[in-house]
Structure 1
Amino acid sequence: MSLFEKAGRKFEETKRSFTGGDDAEGDPEYVCRSCEKPVSEDYDHCPHCGDAAVEPVE
């Protein structure tokens, strides 16, 4: 399994955990691919880790 396949699977698992309703504030609309933390707005860079990896949760 390549590095990108592993990263993609981890991202999908994290996305599913966020959309599963576990979050007390409701489902987040965005998530950082790098640190895997929920983000409330569409930032250019993650407010948690600073990486430019914020994407919408589908």
Structure 2
Amino acid sequence: MGLFREAGKKFEETKRSFTGGDGDEYVCRACEKRLTERYEHCPHCGEAAVEPAA
């Protein structure tokens, strides 16, 4: 599964370079990963701790 995670990370980096910003509007308070979309559970750690970024 590491291959897909790395590919997703590269895709997000490329997308951010084209859009001109990071676009991170949410953050997981459990693992501190920033997210561009609202999730019920963090796609990185699985915790239900996704909140709007301050």
Normalising by structure 1, report the TM-score. Answer: 0.54
CA distance in 2, matches of 1:46, 1:29: 13
Structure 2 gap segments, 5+ residues each = 1-12, 17-21
Pairwise CA RMSD of aligned residues? 1.3
Runs (4+) of structure 1 exceeding 2 A deviation are none
Structure 1 gap segments, 5+ residues each = 1-23
SS state at 1:50 partner? coil
- Within the candidate set 35, 49, 52, 2:48 is matched to 52
Number of matched pairs: 35
- 1:27 CA drift (Å): 4.1
Q: Which has the higher helix share?
A: 2
Letter in 2 for 1:31: V
2:32 aligns with 36
Identity %: 60
- 1:53 CA drift (Å): 0.1
